[in-house]
Structure 1
Amino acid sequence: MAGVEPDVVLDVHRLHGVEAAGTLPRPRKLIVRRVSFSGVKHDAAGFERFSFDWDGLDTGLWAVLTDGNSQGKSSILKLVLAVLQGRLPGHVKPDVWNWIDGIDVSFDIDGIRFGVAVRKEVGVLKPSEARARVVRGMDPAIAVLHDGPADASFERAMSDVFMEELGFAKFRSYRSETDAASEHGWPAMSSALFIDGPGKAIFGGVANDGLPIRLMQLFIGMPWISTYSAASTALKSVQADDKADRETSGTQAGRAVGRRAELKAELAGLRETLAGLPDRDALRADLRAIDAQLLASGSRIASAKGQVDASTRAEADAISIHAGARSALQQAQDDAAAGYVFRRLRPSCCPACEASVQIGRFEATASETCGLCGNTDPPGDASHDAVPHLRDAVEDAARELRASRKRLAAAAGELLAAQGERERLEADLQAKGDAYVSLPDDTSILCAIAAAEARLDELARASAPVAVRKYGEHDLAVLEATVDVVEGKFKPLETEVLKEVSDALLRLAGEFGVRNLESLRLVGNGRLDVSQGAARCTSATLRRASRCASGSRPPWPSSTWRPLVGSDAIPVSSSSTPPARRRWTPRTSQP
């Protein structure tokens, strides 16, 4: 397709939601079986209760006729439309909706009965204050589909009923006013069920978004319509984007040059002003650095305190060892001195028994022998021999004590230095913090710089060729080919069906009394071309010219309403004998 690989075509279709749906739809039949409503009419004449019940409806052509206008014909049909759409009060006139207190509509979809009942108080205008009940089936097999306020939930329930039962799927269309695709469901589809006087569209109440064409194709039952709608909508969206891209490229280049110069000058002035302000970033960096130094200073103080504690304990141990060594030295010296003294004593009597010592004993005894007991002294005195070693120990202990005190002093000095550094860092942090807080606010300048840079960037992108496309390079070609191929698949059948519809319309128009009508042709774009009396016009022109005959008096008594009954395809002609009359309440109580 379009000289593109099949995989690329499938990717484009997936991207834009285009799916193949070429099955011929199965015909579905919707028949309104009963329309009933009641209420209290109040006007200048007073209050009067009224009721309307149109029962026994079936296939064929039915009509509501009166002998004049403003008798309620349009209100009946608009009530039916409002109920089928789930949008109350719809297009019903406010005064009529104000009078009504009950509505009942029954209809069949392919033979399955559905019923809608709406109840409210007379005078209530808000749909949310009314109650709506939707049921499927007939007694005893009834399924309640909705029972609640007649608001948006009621509309969703009715939409679900018809979309499901009629086998419809939402379709997309492109809205040129907004350059965007929109999705349409039952509210748009149901508008094709009613023709509400002269308008721009034959099918549906809205002429934009190509809705009349899509609704005509949908209700005629053309295959490939959902595929065609998705592809054509995507194609229009891509074409619009492609056109915008081409128009954007180079359109404002001349004016952009001067504007860029102005913005650059403005940007330079703003940056110069910002540069004259204190450097906020540098201050923040200094504050972060001081925080890191404070953290290291805390670790240093903790380490110094540990050293002081250890040195203090070491000094105490050294003091204790030194005192012990000195005490031991003194004890040894005292012991040695006492032994020397006692060995040279010359007592005159025994200390134990006081017996007199023999004269000349001490002179006859060697100096190494005790004059009292005669024991020989050891070769050397232990205390006397230990004195030199203890004196060395005292000197070692004194040296260790001096070293421990020196280490303690060094640790204390380190602690004082660490604490002094911390105090200095804290003071510096306070000063830097005060300076940062007192900085002038540069937010407005930064915002102005950012805005100027953004405008410069926008101008640069607007004046430069578009480098990035919203869609791929093959999207446009693939979608154009898809639309052509899909249109070729259903166009012959559409032309054939529209020919049959045109012939049927021409026959019906003649049977309803339209004179001098030569041809009617319903074309694929939803327009009805009319040839009447050698003049060519459209259905809108014909309707405007025929409005004067829309309220002419019927050929039977005005106090009755009468349906025209015929087969599914051929209605009763205007010259047929009127069927049996059916009465409703007098006109004075009609809405």
Structure 2
Amino acid sequence: MKGTEASLESRIAVTSGVTVENVRDVFNTYGLPLVNTPARLRGLRLHRLRVSGVRTGSLDPGPFDTTLRFSSGLTALVAANLKGKTSVLELITWCLRGVPRGLQAGVRHWLTELDLDVVVARHPMGFRLDLMDGEITSAVVLTSPDVQALEAVRTPDPARDIIPAVRANSSDSFASQVQALMMDRLDLQPLVNSFNETGTQTHGWPSYYGSIYLPTGGDKVLLGDQAMSGLPGRLLQVFLDLPAAATLTRVKTAYDVRTAAYKNRRTAAEEAVSARQAEREQVEADLGVARARLAALGPADDGASLAELAAQAAALARQVADSQESWEELMQAHRRARKQRQRDAKILNDVTESATARLLFHGLDPKACPRCDQAIAEDRKSDERDTHACAVCLRPVAGDDEIPEEVTAEASQRLSESVITEDEAHEALEEAEAALARLTHDLEAVEERLRSARAVTQLPERLMAQEAVLRLEGALSVFPQLPAVAEDPVEATTIKVLGAGTQVLEGDSKSAASVLFAEVNKEILQLGRRFGITSLEAVEIDRSARLRVVKDGGVKDWFGKQSAGERLRLRIAVVIALLRVGARHGISTHPGLLLIDSPKAEEVQDLDAHTLLRELFILAAESDLQVLITTADSALAHDVLRDDHILEAAAGKPLW
């Protein structure tokens, strides 16, 4: 064992009070790692977008084939409103995310070909989509040693080492395959959370993508585009590779689900015991009432004969109950004997026809796996006979079959004995059935005599009272009781280990976060002010991605309570702050790509848009960040950015 692994498992063992072997068993069962390995680089860089098709409608109709090339740092997509700025972000999103986020249906129907060249975690990839009527008809994702080599290629070219990583013939197939591909290439784990206590929800690449394509200022989520299930907090692991963040999420989810399931089972068992006890107490109470009612009737005139009949009925009722119980036991014994006889007959047939069966004759004949208690499938048993493979472990059964006659003879002897046992059990069962029938007939006869003993006014009421007492006494005598709820030691150990693992990993994460987030808060504060929030005095972000904002003379409020413009600036400030701090500590794992749609649209009232754009341009260069923004303000873009950082449509024309 290496230091980190031994340290983590030993700390969990100490915290849970179990052995290190128990910790390993539980973590292995759930597929959880005991080693904290750093995430791979997740760089994501856009190089080229090509889109072709036929535009319909009254505005600029006709065929088009446009190529856009993206520089590093900040690039502005400039065009008038409704001229294709946002759709560029959506087309990029369709390729990278698998599905667009909000691409208009009419725009989709214009497209026939869509190409995107990117570098994903240092691996060049080319997305090639063929479309008809707004849906994918054919798609391939190409990989190549050189991103430039992909430019003129739309199909695989093995001679140039351009090979397919994904092939799809529908939109749904493309979406699912691309999402799996991006999770793999960017070394991301699914975000899993408990759901309805005993279930789980899994969130994949589309949830992560929300940290690349930032929501608008009107959205109140700080990170990503979903507030549900605590996803913003879990997306922090995209920006900062906090120690065991992904493992902590999985361990905590497993712990929550296992604990909830345990509590539900225990509660159900306790409720069953309580319900059974309540039923018994109710029968006892009813019996007390019935006895009191019978006693209140006083002695009958023909007390001696009625008392004798009542005593006979009570005795016979008890005998019937005992006989019924004995019959049920003998019925079970007969069924077991019959099953054993059938099993022995099958074994005799097997050992007569199969050498493998003879080799296994003196071994165990398990009906379930000794490890997990699941029943052994019939096809495995068939394979044991046909292919000589053990039904439990699947290993081949080999050995010398030197005494087949002795095995066959012993199997035959066993069958003879089981036949005798079955016959004896059947005879005993028939005797019990006859005895039960006889006692039942006697009880019915005595009850009939009781009912017809006297034709007096009180007799029916007395008989009803006597019958009620007898019935309740009989019910109470055979009333089953459930055993007390017992603890499952394996489950208890599992819950202890998962709980301790959550505690230890939570502590590690908190320790690292306390130092990192202090730096992050300073960065957010400085960036927020640089972006024009001059009243900003302090900020505080936590591991759940909740941001508390202090401004205007010490007034504290949450991120969601800020204006749309302030939310957008703070969201950008948070992303860049996380990237900067992560880079300083060598734990920055964000892909380094941001898509921001029309930031100026959120800044109508109070933003110096020049300040935001200028600072974002500087910070993108400093942080090795690629940012695409859209704007309709051509003057703003040219005032702040060089021409090689602007992709602009001709006046009044679409961007593509």
TM-score, normalised to structure 1, is: 0.56
Aligned residue for 1:528?
547
Question: Secondary structure at 2:222's aligned position in 1?
Answer: coil
Matched, 1:22 2:36: yes
Look up the equivalent residue of 1:79 and give its one-letter code.
Answer: L
Within 2, Cα distance between the matches of 1:500 and 1:233?
Answer: 29
Within 1, Cα distance between the matches of 2:30 and 2:651?
Answer: 58
Matched, 1:78 2:90: yes
Deviation of 1:32 after TM superposition, in Å, equals 1.4
Verify the 8 A CA contact 1:104 1:115 in the aligned structure 2.
yes
Verify the 8 A CA contact 1:137 1:143 in the aligned structure 2.
no
Verify the 8 A CA contact 2:142 2:162 in the aligned structure 1.
no
Deviations 1:39-82 (A, max 9, x none): 33334558344555331322x233435565x4443322222222
Verify the 8 A CA contact 2:79 2:655 in the aligned structure 1.
no
Aligned residue for 1:151?
171
Question: Secondary structure at 1:474's aligned position in 2?
Answer: helix
Look up the equivalent residue of 1:4 and give its one-letter code.
Answer: V
Question: Secondary structure at 1:120's aligned position in 2?
Answer: strand
1:488 pairs, out of 500, 507, 526, with 507
Within 2, Cα distance between the matches of 1:509 and 1:259?
Answer: 70
Within 1, Cα distance between the matches of 2:249 and 2:123?
Answer: 30
Matched, 1:578 2:641: yes
Within 2, Cα distance between the matches of 1:461 and 1:520?
Answer: 64
Within 2, Cα distance between the matches of 1:517 and 1:101?
Answer: 48
Verify the 8 A CA contact 2:251 2:498 in the aligned structure 1.
yes
Within 2, Cα distance between the matches of 1:210 and 1:461?
Answer: 47
Aligned residue for 1:550?
601
Verify the 8 A CA contact 1:159 1:186 in the aligned structure 2.
yes
Task: Within 5 Å, give how 1:76-115 maps onto structure 2.
Answer: 76-87=88-99, 89-115=100-126
Structure 1 window deviating more from structure 2 (78-87 vs 181-190): it is 181-190
Look up the equivalent residue of 1:20 and give its one-letter code.
Answer: L
Aligned residue for 2:621?
567
Deviations 1:274-333 (A, max 9, x none): x9xxxxx9xxxxxxxxxxxxxxxxxxxxxxxxxxxxxxxxxxxxxxxxxxxxxxxxxxxx
Look up the equivalent residue of 2:224 and give its one-letter code.
Answer: G
Structure 1 window deviating more from structure 2 (519-528 vs 147-156): it is 147-156
Structure 1 window deviating more from structure 2 (581-590 vs 107-116): it is 581-590
Matched, 1:137 2:145: yes
Deviation of 1:570 after TM superposition, in Å, equals 8.3
Deviations 1:80-139 (A, max 9, x none): 22211223x443222222222222211113443211121223xx1333x34344333333
Question: Secondary structure at 1:20's aligned position in 2?
Answer: coil
Larger radius of gyration: 1
Within 2, Cα distance between the matches of 1:461 and 1:142?
Answer: 73
Deviation of 1:15 after TM superposition, in Å, equals 2.6
Aligned residue for 2:560?
540
Within 1, Cα distance between the matches of 2:49 and 2:483?
Answer: 65
Aligned residue for 1:62?
75
Verify the 8 A CA contact 2:80 2:652 in the aligned structure 1.
no
Deviation of 1:150 after TM superposition, in Å, equals 4.3
TM-score, normalised to structure 2, is: 0.51
Deviation of 1:232 after TM superposition, in Å, equals 0.7
Look up the equivalent residue of 1:207 and give its one-letter code.
Answer: A
Verify the 8 A CA contact 1:86 1:159 in the aligned structure 2.
yes
Verify the 8 A CA contact 2:77 2:647 in the aligned structure 1.
no
Within 1, Cα distance between the matches of 2:77 and 2:528?
Answer: 18
The verdict on how the C-alpha distance between 1:249 and 1:65 changes in structure 2, with shifts beyond 3 A counting, is: farther
Matched, 1:214 2:234: yes
Look up the equivalent residue of 2:108 and give its one-letter code.
Answer: W
Verify the 8 A CA contact 1:116 1:135 in the aligned structure 2.
no
Structure 1 window deviating more from structure 2 (477-486 vs 16-25): it is 16-25
Within 2, Cα distance between the matches of 1:222 and 1:477?
Answer: 24
Verify the 8 A CA contact 1:86 1:155 in the aligned structure 2.
yes
1:9 pairs, out of 10, 17, 23, with 23
Structure 1 window deviating more from structure 2 (25-34 vs 177-186): it is 177-186
Deviation of 1:143 after TM superposition, in Å, equals 2.1
Task: Within 5 Å, give how 1:45-444 maps onto structure 2.
Answer: 47-50=61-64, 52-58=66-72, 60-65=73-78, 68=81, 70-87=82-99, 89-121=100-132, 124-127=133-136, 129-138=137-146, 139=149, 140-168=160-188, 170-171=189-190, 173-177=192-196, 179-197=198-216, 198-199=218-219, 201-251=221-271, 253=274
Look up the equivalent residue of 1:104 and give its one-letter code.
Answer: D
Q: Which runs of 5+ in 1 are unaligned?
A: 263-274, 276-280, 282-459, 557-562
Question: Secondary structure at 2:243's aligned position in 1?
Answer: coil
Deviation of 1:511 after TM superposition, in Å, equals 2.8
The verdict on how the C-alpha distance between 1:147 and 1:12 changes in structure 2, with shifts beyond 3 A counting, is: closer
Question: Secondary structure at 2:32's aligned position in 1?
Answer: coil
Deviation of 1:543 after TM superposition, in Å, equals 5.0
Aligned residue for 2:356?
none
Look up the equivalent residue of 2:648 and give its one-letter code.
Answer: R
Deviation of 1:501 after TM superposition, in Å, equals 3.2
Deviation of 1:496 after TM superposition, in Å, equals 2.9
Question: Secondary structure at 2:534's aligned position in 1?
Answer: coil
Deviation of 1:552 after TM superposition, in Å, equals 5.8
Deviation of 1:214 after TM superposition, in Å, equals 2.3
Within 2, Cα distance between the matches of 1:53 and 1:203?
Answer: 31
**Structure possessing the higher relative contact order (Cα contacts under 8 Å, 6 or more residues apart):** 2
Verify the 8 A CA contact 2:197 2:261 in the aligned structure 1.
no
Within 1, Cα distance between the matches of 2:624 and 2:178?
Answer: 30
Deviations 1:159-215 (A, max 9, x none): 4543343233x3452233363134444343333322222445433333333332222
Within 1, Cα distance between the matches of 2:222 and 2:481?
Answer: 44
Within 2, Cα distance between the matches of 1:133 and 1:180?
Answer: 34
The verdict on how the C-alpha distance between 1:555 and 1:516 changes in structure 2, with shifts beyond 3 A counting, is: closer
Deviation of 1:237 after TM superposition, in Å, equals 0.8
Within 2, Cα distance between the matches of 1:22 and 1:205?
Answer: 28
Deviation of 1:524 after TM superposition, in Å, equals 0.7
Deviations 1:312-355 (A, max 9, x none): xxxxxxxxxxxxxxxxxxxxxxxxxxxxxxxxxxxxxxxxxxxx
Question: Secondary structure at 2:210's aligned position in 1?
Answer: helix
The verdict on how the C-alpha distance between 1:464 and 1:45 changes in structure 2, with shifts beyond 3 A counting, is: farther
Deviations 1:520-544 (A, max 9, x none): 3221111122223233222222254
What's the C-alpha RMSD, in Å, of the aligned pairs?
Answer: 4.2
Within 1, Cα distance between the matches of 2:276 and 2:162?
Answer: 71
Aligned residues: 386
Within 2, Cα distance between the matches of 1:492 and 1:500?
Answer: 14
Aligned residue for 1:364?
none
Verify the 8 A CA contact 2:79 2:649 in the aligned structure 1.
no
Structure 1 window deviating more from structure 2 (498-507 vs 42-51): it is 42-51
Within 2, Cα distance between the matches of 1:527 and 1:516?
Answer: 20
